Every structure is written in C-alpha cells, then in structure tokens.
Structure 1
Amino acid sequence: MKKLFLLLAAASAAHAVSAMPLTVPQIQEASSQTVKYDCRDGKSVSVRYVNTKNKQSFALLTVDGRKLMFVNVMSGSGAKYVADEYTWWTKGPEGNLSSGRADANAPPLLADCKARK
C-alpha cells in the first residue's frame, strides 16, 4: 500500500513541485490485482484493485490522462468505486465508467467493458 501512496504522491508532484510524499502507515495492502477490460466502443482500460488489511477497497485507473484512486462505496449490486466526479461500477466481469457531471440520461464514458480472460 505504501507503494500505492508513493505512486500517487509522485503523480501529484508533477503539479506541485513542493509536494511531500503521502504515506498512511495505518493502511496496509493485503492483496491487489490488475484487470484489463475491453469496452463496447473499442477502448480498453486497465484497473488495479487494492484490498487493505483493514477491509478497505480501492480501484486505480486513468481517466482523461489523470491517475485516480477510486474508493469503494456502498452499492445495491456489484462493486461501486468513486473518485472526483467519476464512478467505476462493476458487476462480475463487467464494468462501466460514468461522470456525475453528465446529463442523467447520458451514456457512460466507458460502457459494457468486459474483463479479458
């Protein structure tokens, strides 16, 4: 988990030269997995899922050139992760990325993404 936060801090440093490394020793990585998805529109996305020893879950993915850490939140079905205006929602081997700034009837930014086997 320490590597995760150092990676995020390094990404932030490009925007703020004086940024200090971010470490949270209380949050320790228990497991991680990278899954590559192919989406309906021909795009693909790679997501790194991180589970911590204190039972938190994160999803790391790049959206519009920004590396974001999505936090798992309660959902009625599947796994829902949020970061900034974005939601990455998975159910089984499928996922969708949507924006909270889009019109309520707008299609997801990435739709019908299926995990590669």
Structure 2
Amino acid sequence: MKIPAFLTLASTLLVSACASPPQEKADAPAPEAAASTATVHTYRCESGETIAAAYPSTDSARVEYKDRRDDMQIAVSGSGARYAGDDLEWWTKGISPGSEGILFRHLADGTTGERLEICEAS
C-alpha cells in the first residue's frame, strides 16, 4: 500500500513539532528583566539619607538604602502598602511627589520594630 505524499509530510511535521521544546514569547521579558525595568521612586529622608524603591510586581518591592538592596514581599497593613523583607519593612502611602515612606526594622516574629527613617517621595 502506497502512502500519499501529503500524509508523509503531515506526519513528519507533526513529529517534529512534538519534538521541539516550547519557545518563550519574544515579547515577554525574563523575570529579572521585568524587575530592572520597574519604575524607581526616590524618597528623601529626614536624616538626609535617600531611599530608592522599585515595584517589580504588584506584590513586591526592591528597596535600596545605605548601599544595600532588599527584596521585599507585600504584607498585611491597616493603611497604605507594607512590604517586608528579612530584617527591614517599607511602608508607603502613595507614590506621587510628597507621599510618605517609612522604613522600619522587621522583627523575626513578623511584627514591626524600631522606626529607622521617615521619608518623602520627590
């Protein structure tokens, strides 16, 4: 029995398509690229220090303070947005110029500790 040429071609294409690894979308940035393209908000603190905060996703923040960078996750707050990391917390109310940001120690039991900085978005 002779197999029609179009069936042979179709079978070959089907097998090769199944064997190919899935490709990522060309327009979807890698997770680290998405983080690096997040808008950075600058806050001037009462102490004279500066805090740079970026929000790579709706549930995370990257805070730069005194030559260190902390990746934080959203946490429960009564008002504003609260992000907690290993030993720091970043609370904000708004992100426009004049908005407030407060940096705290984050305690091992998940509670807020000593206030480190009170800052204003510039």
TM-score for both structures, normalised by structure 2: 0.58
- Distance in 1, matches of 2:65 and 2:50, equals 11
Shift of 1:3: 4.8
Shift of 1:65: 3.4
2:30 pairs with 1:2: yes
- Distance in 1, matches of 2:72 and 2:42, equals 16
Cα 1:105–1:62 shift into 2, 3 Å: closer
1:76 counterpart SS class: coil
Q: Which runs of 5+ in 1 are unaligned?
A: 7-27
Tell me what 1:89 maps to. Answer: 91
Q: Which runs of 5+ in 2 are unaligned?
A: 1-28
Cα 1:81–1:105 shift into 2, 3 Å: closer
Shift of 1:33: 1.8
2:48 counterpart SS class: coil
Moved >4 Å (runs of 4+): none
Tell me what 1:24 maps to. Answer: none
Structure with greater contact order relative to length (CA < 8 Å, sep ≥ 6): 1
Identity %: 28
Tell me what 1:61 maps to. Answer: 63
From 31, 56, 80, give the equivalent of 1:78: 80
Give the aligned residue type for 1:110: E
Is the 8 Å Cα contact of residues 105 and 113 (structure 2) preserved in structure 1? no
Which structure is larger by alpha-carbon Rg, 1 or 2?
A: 2
> What RMSD, in angstroms, separates the aligned Cα atoms of the two structures?
2.6
Q: Aligned pair count? A: 85
Give the aligned residue type for 2:121: A
Cα 1:110–1:66 shift into 2, 3 Å: same
TM-score for both structures, normalised by structure 1: 0.60
Is the 8 Å Cα contact of residues 51 and 65 (structure 2) preserved in structure 1? no
- Distance in 2, matches of 1:105 and 1:60, equals 19
Tell me what 2:42 maps to. Answer: 36
- Distance in 2, matches of 1:96 and 1:38, equals 11
- Distance in 2, matches of 1:75 and 1:82, equals 11
